[in-house]
A and B are shown apart, each in its own frame.
Chain A
Amino acid sequence: MKVDVLEFDDNKVKLVVEGRLDTLTSPDFDAVVEPYLSVPGVNITIDIEKMDFISSSGLRSLIKMLKRINAANGQMSIVGMTPPVKEIFDMTGFSSLFLLLPSLDWVDSTTGEFKYYYLGKKI
């Protein structure tokens, strides 16, 4: 597993996850995201388009993350869901917990400006 972190203005963070998020790799993932979880009003978007696989350990990392971000009045969204991963989210009811967005070239790579809106808000 590999996590690329892109930090933008306004507490915006983009995480690009590649490979497997499972029992072996989720502790590394937890360590990478830890610094951002307590930032008030943080807005984290996780790109999982290149994530091959997620197990319940990966799901646990995500739910812990969501609880922390909610407590910090932040926002968390997931983009680029592939059908196999979508199935795992569906089986565990995670699809309804997370803000899931389709895979799109959703951020300007030079300015970090978000191109899309969700619920009337530019994200």
Chain B
Amino acid sequence: MRLPRFNSLSARISVTAALITAAMVAVAALCLYLTRCDWLLAHDAADPDLFTVSFHVLLRDTVVALAAAVVVLCAVVYYAVRRMMRPVEDFTDTAIEISRGNLDVAIPDFDGNSEMQRMHDSFCLMQQSIKRYTRDLEESVRQRALLMGELQIAGRIQDDLLAKTFPPFPDRDDVNIRAVLIPAKEIGGDLYNYLIHDDKLYFIIADVSGKSVPAAIVMAVACSVFNTVAPMSDDPAVIVSELNQSTCSNNSQSGFFITALVGVLDLRSHVLRLCNAGHDPAVLVSPAGEVSLLRITPNLPVGVVRDFEYQGVSMILAPGSRLVLYTDGITNSENSRHEFFGQNRLLECVDVLATDEITDFVDGILQRIDEFVMESEQADDFTIMVIDFSPSDVIMPGQMVLGSDIDELNKVNAFADAISQALAFNEMASMRMHLALEEAVSNILRYSLSQIARRSVKLYASVHANCLKVIISDIGKAFDPTGVDDADTDAPIDQRPIGGLGITLMRNISKSMSYKRLNDRNYLHLDFDVNSLRDLDRNFTQN
């Protein structure tokens, strides 16, 4: 049997209801018919089974007829509902398919102007909309990823502009620096930098107004201007003026400005010159551990007035001092109660941590800021730079830089002479100094260097109390002379090897030798006992 095709859902429901009603009417009619029969129910005592049998037959027939009617009714209803629900099921399947990501699945079609047709149309519309939104979303996610990737690359480039190897000057022991810059976004407008040229330390800490990309561009320019200008003038006011000129000429439209603190510390004469262009004052920790703010003549920030005349100040920095420089991101760190970290808290932290080693000092301050702000989001870039100054007790020859040519040993002799002169060495001490340095450097020049370079070897000397320390660093292949055994100094002539004497001599003359490999350079530390070097009767063979 095939029901006529009804496309409308309401029509189907109506037909189903009509069928159910018809079935019920049929059952009712059957019952009525049974009651209207002119059957007589009689009792015959002689045949007691007669009544029983006919009643049982009647009951059975009625039950069977009812059961058959119910089964037919159920079948009809089931069939009608199934037919009516099929399009809905098809739509459900389609929706599930779409939700699985198959946006191109065909929507079941039902002809005619009906609810199902309208549902079909809405489904199609929805499918197209989802497709369009998905495409737009994918495109914008792709664009954003691209932008984020570029920002991250820019951040890395910016990061590379900053000196980041700590300790930054392992080839000398009179100055140590530790700096941390944490941008609020991928890239930022804070900067710090430092370099040593001609035994002078040049340093800058600065904060470009604003954040993110525009600030980062100004920062990058400022950084390279500092690197270029710094070695050419040891007057920080001149460096700041140059920075100002360049910022003003590149910045006529955008109105950015930079607060900066620039310093030049003469590592031999201990003269510190500073120029402050609207930046937060540095904190000075004296050798005795007293903490004070280094308030110096304020100048306009960089990039405001083109021909502003910047003024610097100069002072003597006591050996053992520590300078703490920072940007306002530190003091303006804010917690959830909208309180600022502030200068006083910073001074308290510096006071508590004053005697800590430089790395622990910086980590300690960062940790205290962290504890203060808790979960609050970092609003501004922040930077801290700490400079420890621990120069030699006696003014020594400055750092000597050698090429890879063996003739450069003449300079080593001059260096040994200068040390001998600075420490008023006797002939014996001077000879020992010459010997140790010649052995160390000639070893490097002959065996370690694989390439010709103008700045292959660096020599640095300092005296603290009775200890003379010489640091010799080179770019040669890794070689640890302290691991070489002594030559056998008791062997008879025919068993004596020709080489191996130099290291024996160095070991005998120095108090201790240590070696480390850092950033592709060899660092040899030779420590000498100054009194022992002067001792005429020192018996080296007993060493």
| A interface with B by C-beta (< 8 Å) | 20, 22-24, 52-53, 55-57, 59-60, 63-64, 66-67, 70, 83-85, 87-88, 90-93, 96-97
Q: In the bound complex, do residue A63 and residue B498 qualify as a contact, i.e. CB atoms below 8 Å apart?
A: yes
Q: A56-B439, A83-B536 are in contact. List 9 more A-B contacts (CB 8 A).
A: A24-B409, A55-B505, A66-B493, A84-B427, A88-B505, A90-B541, A91-B489, A93-B488, A93-B490
Stretch at the interface among B2-10, B209-217, B283-291, B428-436: B428-436
Interface positions of B from 419 to 472, Cβ below 8 Å from A: 427-428, 431-432, 434-435, 438-439, 442, 445-446
What are 14 A-to-B residue pairs whose CB atoms are below 8 Å? A23-B438, A52-B431, A56-B499, A56-B502, A56-B504, A59-B501, A67-B494, A84-B427, A87-B432, A88-B505, A90-B540, A91-B505, A93-B489, A96-B490
Q: In this complex, what residue of B is CB-closest to A84?
A: B431
Interface positions of B from 109 to 164, Cβ below 8 Å from A: none
Q: In the bound complex, do residue A91 and residue B427 qualify as a contact, i.e. CB atoms below 8 Å apart?
A: no
* B64 located at the interface, meaning its Cβ lies under 8 Å from any Cβ of chain A in the complex: no
A63: which B residues are within 8 A, CB to CB? 493, 496, 498
B431: which A residues are within 8 A, CB to CB? 52-53, 84-85, 87-88
Q: Report Cα–Cα, A52/B434, bound state, in Å.
A: 11
| B interface with A by C-beta (< 8 Å) | 406-407, 409-410, 413, 427-428, 431-432, 434-435, 438-439, 442, 445-446, 487-494, 496, 498-499, 501-502, 504-505, 508-509, 536, 540-541
A87: which B residues are within 8 A, CB to CB? 428, 431-432, 540
Q: Report Cα–Cα, A101/B431, bound state, in Å.
A: 22
Q: Report Cα–Cα, A93/B541, bound state, in Å.
A: 8
Q: How far is the CB of B302 from chain A (nearest CB, A)?
A: 51
Q: In this complex, what residue of A is CB-closest to B413?
A: A20
Q: In the bound complex, do residue A23 and residue B406 qualify as a contact, i.e. CB atoms below 8 Å apart?
A: yes
Q: In the bound complex, do residue B496 and residue A56 qualify as a contact, i.e. CB atoms below 8 Å apart?
A: no
B interface SS class? helix
Contact of A55 among B407, B438, B491 (CB under 8 A): B438
B407: which A residues are within 8 A, CB to CB? 24
Q: How far is the CB of A72 from chain B (nearest CB, A)?
A: 14
B504: which A residues are within 8 A, CB to CB? 56, 91-92
A52: which B residues are within 8 A, CB to CB? 431
Q: In this complex, what residue of B is CB-closest to A95?
A: B541
Q: In the bound complex, do residue A23 and residue B505 qualify as a contact, i.e. CB atoms below 8 Å apart?
A: no
Q: In the bound complex, do residue A64 and residue B428 qualify as a contact, i.e. CB atoms below 8 Å apart?
A: no
Q: Which of B407, B499, B501, B505 has the most CB of A within 10 A?
A: B501
B409: which A residues are within 8 A, CB to CB? 22-24
CB contact under 8 A between A64 and B498, given known A55-B435, A88-B435: yes
Contact of A24 among B406, B494, B501 (CB under 8 A): B406
Q: Which of B431, B439, B536 has the most CB of A within 10 A?
A: B431
Q: In the bound complex, do residue A53 and residue B498 qualify as a contact, i.e. CB atoms below 8 Å apart?
A: no
Q: How far is the CB of A24 from chain B (nearest CB, A)?
A: 5
Contact of A92 among B427, B432, B434, B501 (CB under 8 A): B501
Q: In the bound complex, do residue B435 and residue A92 qualify as a contact, i.e. CB atoms below 8 Å apart?
A: no
